[in-house]
Amino acid sequence: MSAAPLVGYSSSGSEDEAEAEAGIRARSETGGRRCDQRPLLSQRLPVPDSVLHMFPGTEEGPEDDSAKHGGRVRTFPHERGNWATHVYIPYEAGEDFLDLLDMLLLHAQTYTPRLVRMEAFHLSLSQSVVLRHHWILPFVQALKDRVASIQRFCFTANRVKIYTNQEKTRTFVGLEVTSGHAQFLDLVSEVDKVMEEFDLTTFYQDPSFHISLAWCVGDARLQLEGQCLQELQEIVDEFEDSEMLLRVYTEEIRCKSGNKFFSIPLK
């Protein structure tokens, strides 16, 4: 495992929240010709490029313009009927947590100005995988069956750590779990069994469970690790009531598939 652990994020944001729509296929029609008429191939006129490119083929999917989502690069292409799916534990950020996050972000931006705050917070229990639409409900039901016997639990996430995605196209500042790790492993074990049932990719072998706080495009480990990381940890340690603030009671896991969200309670 590298110095910056991998995180299981899809490389696109909001555009992964809905099923990919692939455009319209242009179909040429040959109707109107009598059976006794043969086409004069040598007399056909070429179709202008402007017409050929009016209707992109469905196999290729929509153009992935990274400028529309912060420069992020998709790790798998949109395909009609495929839904990006992710299993995680939600974290509801309160006012004090957001105050701490603002302090961390302002300091980290002195080293990497392009860092931006995450819009929502969670702890991943799976990588981002692709489900066919008709698999979504059976997949969610399998998750419910698997985690039904797992007790609710508390965990603490108070160690600042720097992460990258697999492709090193995005860097994250996160808070790593320092207590409750065994319970997370139990959950991942059950989620992985569901992934295997559906022939999907399981989670990482040596996971670092964490809440991502901020991210940027590219590999910014050189700027953020070392002195910056040490100073960010000091901010967390010195923040008032940080020990209680970063202790979380887990009552559910969630599954997000496309634009659908499913809540799965723990015992």
Positions annotated as catalytic residues are 122, 210
Q: Directed axis angle between helix 181-197 and helix 136-147, to 10°?
A: 140
Q: Which helix (H) or strand (E) holds 250?
A: strand 247-250
Question: What per-residue string of b and e applies to 76-104 under the rule 16 or more CB within 10 Å gives b?
Answer: eebbeebbbbbbbbbbeeeeebeebbeeb
- What is the CA angle 259-261-267, rounded to 5? 170
How many Å apart are CA 207 and CA 194, to the nearest integer? 18
Query: Could you identify the residue written with the tokens 């007399």?
Result: 43
Going by the DSSP 8-state scheme, the letter that residue 209 receives in this structure is -
C-beta separation of 225 from 4 below 8 A: yes
